[in-house]
Amino acid sequence: MLKPYLVVEWNDTETDAKGWLVVHNFVNGYTGGGTRMHPTVTKEEVIRLAEAMAYKYVACESETTGGCKAGIAYDYKAPNALAVLRRFLIAIMPYIDLGVSIGSDLGTNYEDILTIFHEFGIDIPMTKSMKQDQKVLQGIKQYDELLTTKMDGLLLNDVVTGYGSAFTADEAWKFKQEQEGAKVVIQGFGSVGASCALKMSQLGYKVVGISDANLLVTCEEGLDVQKLIAHKNEYGEMDQTYFESHYTVRSNTKWLEVDCDILIPSALEDVINKSNADIVKAKLIVEAANIPISSEGDEMIKERGIDIVNDFVTNVGAIRFYESVIFGLIDPKPQAVIDDIEQLCRKNTYHLLSESKKQKKYQREVAYEVFRPAISGLLEYAEPSKEETSY
């Protein structure tokens, strides 16, 4: 693993929260990634996530952005979680103002982050040259407008990654030439998990199990995803009172025991590991979450011959949405955003799986070769002014 370019550590003054900003690389002085908040976040995890972002921008065909990530070790449900997020963002604001584009991730939401940026006169973080580029400024305006639009009753920004992950799963399943109407289990029912479940059911798959932070719900005939979404809370938790009487509710730790063909982890890191990789029943794992399989778990999955499509190939939706609109690659309309993501996810998945078949190599190893970031640039900085050089 390459060393990260920049690691900034933060200690909150008011609570025991700790946070990190990690920049893996810059491209043209610019880098992008989300902000995660969860009690289990560590510096090492943020470093791994930042690296995955760098690969993800390559998979996203970006020529403008490197990969970074921010993480805060704190309870995202605590009453003061937003105040903690605000203090963290203030601490790293100088980097944000120079081209470190931080968005949302597990445990945070984008509107909160943008509201805090606005307080400090920042819209979307930009480099100096982006701030002077009329096309980029126009793209940002269009992106801001699209953020408030909806698709299938959900905010566009909350479906782009989940829908992309579902298109990836569909492409991979078809590549394997398996039967239609396959059974799917999804861990997580937040932005990614819920929209992925919805698109999978729209594509004709049977979503037989979904877990959230509190429970696992299963139904062999398939869950009514639309209804579960209608009653989930802001933390991506399902409301049991709306479950059908034939649904079964169990502990969320049992999610790998559910009989299924496709497994889509869409929540936390390292959830498939050496303690449970031997009980995975699926023939295909599609990593909608970032780094959901630990390195030991990955060895076991590889040995067992289970196919995977790894995180930076699967979950490019949100960053492709950002890149395609801000840098003017597509017509800025909601359906065009989704069509573009579908096309990219299907293309990358097909390429990954056919290369893996051809080279007789595990998909993750092929992905690290095919989407390797080649650029490691610097922060863009202003030339010193005459006044600055005259003393």
Annotated binding residues for substrate, as ranges? 56
Q: Is residue 168 a contact point for ligand NAD (CB under 6 A)? A: no
Which residue of 188, 297, 332, 373 would you call a contact of ligand NAD, by CB under 6 A? 188
161 touches ligand NAD by CB under 6 A: yes
CB 93 within 8 Å of CB 78: no
Is 193 a binder of ligand NAD (CB under 6 A)? yes
Q: Nearer Cβ to ligand NAD, position 235 or 381?
A: 235
Report yes or no: 72 and 92 within 8 Å, Cβ to Cβ. no
Looking at residues 255 to 314 of the shown chain, list those that interact with ligand NAD (rule: CB under 6 A): 266-268, 288-290
H or E stretch at 48: helix 43-59
Find the binder of ligand NAD among 41, 84, 98, 106 (CB under 6 A). Answer: 106
Specify the DSSP element, H or E, that contains 150: strand 150-151
Q: Which of 209, 213, 207 is nearest to 190 (CA)?
A: 213
Residues 319-358, interacting with ligand NAD (CB under 6 A) = none
Catalytic residue flag (residue 199): no
What is residue 248's DSSP assignment? E
Q: In terms of CB distance, is 46 or 98 closer to ligand NAD?
A: 46
Amino acid of residue 177:
Q
Residues shown for the chain: 391
- How far is C-alpha 127 from the geometric centre of its chain's CA atoms? 23
Beta-ladder partners of 35 = 70, 104
Nearer to ligand NAD, 98 or 313 (CB): 313
Shortest CB 164 distance to ligand NAD, Å: 9
- In the complex, minimum distance from the CB of residue 371 to ligand NAD, in angstroms, rounded to a whole number: 15
Our CB check for ligand NAD shows the closer of 73 and 98 to be 73
What is d(CA 272, CA 59) in angstroms, rounded to the nearest whole number? 24
**Residue nearer to ligand NAD on the CB measure, 31 or 98:** 31
Distance CA 259, CA 218 (A): 10
- Alpha helix stretches (DSSP H) within 148-223: 156-175, 191-202
The number of residues that bind ligand NAD (CB under 6 A) is 26
Q: How far is it, in rounded angstroms, from Cα 294 to Cα 71?
A: 18
- Cα–Cα distance measured from residue 186 to residue 32, given in angstroms and rounded to the nearest whole number: 27
Binding mask 48-77 for ligand NAD (x = CB under 6 A): ------------------------------
236: contact with ligand NAD by CB under 6 A? yes
Is residue 165 within 8 A of residue 314, CB to CB? The reply is yes
Q: In the complex with ligand NAD, which residue's Cβ is closer, 27 or 268?
A: 268
Q: Which one is catalytic: 18, 43, 69, 360? A: 69
Indicate the annotated binding residues: 56, 161
Q: Which residue is nearest to ligand NAD (CB)?
A: 190
For position 237 contacting ligand NAD by CB under 6 A, the verdict is yes
Question: Is 25 in contact with 71 (CB distance < 8 Å)?
Answer: no
Instruction: Locate 256 and state its tokens.
Output: 């790998």
Site string for ligand NAD, 196-235 (x = CB under 6 A): ---------------xxx---------------------x
Q: Are 59 and 310 within 8 A, CB to CB?
A: no
- What does the binding site for ligand NAD look like in residue numbers (CB under 6 A)? 105-107, 161, 187-193, 211-213, 235-237, 252, 266-268, 288-290, 315, 318
Task: Give the residue numbers marked as catalytic.
Answer: 69
